[in-house]
Homo-oligomer: A and B are copies of this chain.
Amino acid sequence: MFVILVYDVNQSRVAKVLKLCRRYLYWVQNSVLEGELTEAGYKKLKYELSKIINKDEDSVIFYTFRSTKYSNREIMGLEKGGQENIL
């Protein structure tokens, strides 16, 4: 499945969260990563993240897509990271 992950976590945990997420996904911009994951990989990422974040302070959103056939990604301004045209 295709995953877009956006995080908003306490500054003290940003480095740890980003390091973990980059093992699974491509960094795109600021606090956004994206990439293709298996169901098992997705579960593993969520499990590992749940051990790092503080659920009373932090927020992580996962958008998951079974198909990207009808999807498009458009960038205005700088391409800051990750892979181009991944969708």
Contact = CB atoms under 8 A, between A and B. Distances in A.
A75 interface: yes
A28 B31 CA distance: 13
Of listed A4, A56, A64, A78, residue having the most chain B CB within 10 A: A78
Contacts of A67: 70
Give the size range of A's interface with the partner: 35 or more
A63 B56 contact: no
A63 B77 contact: no
A55 B4 CA distance: 23
A62 B53 contact: no
Interface in A45-68: 46, 49-50, 53-67
A25 interface: no
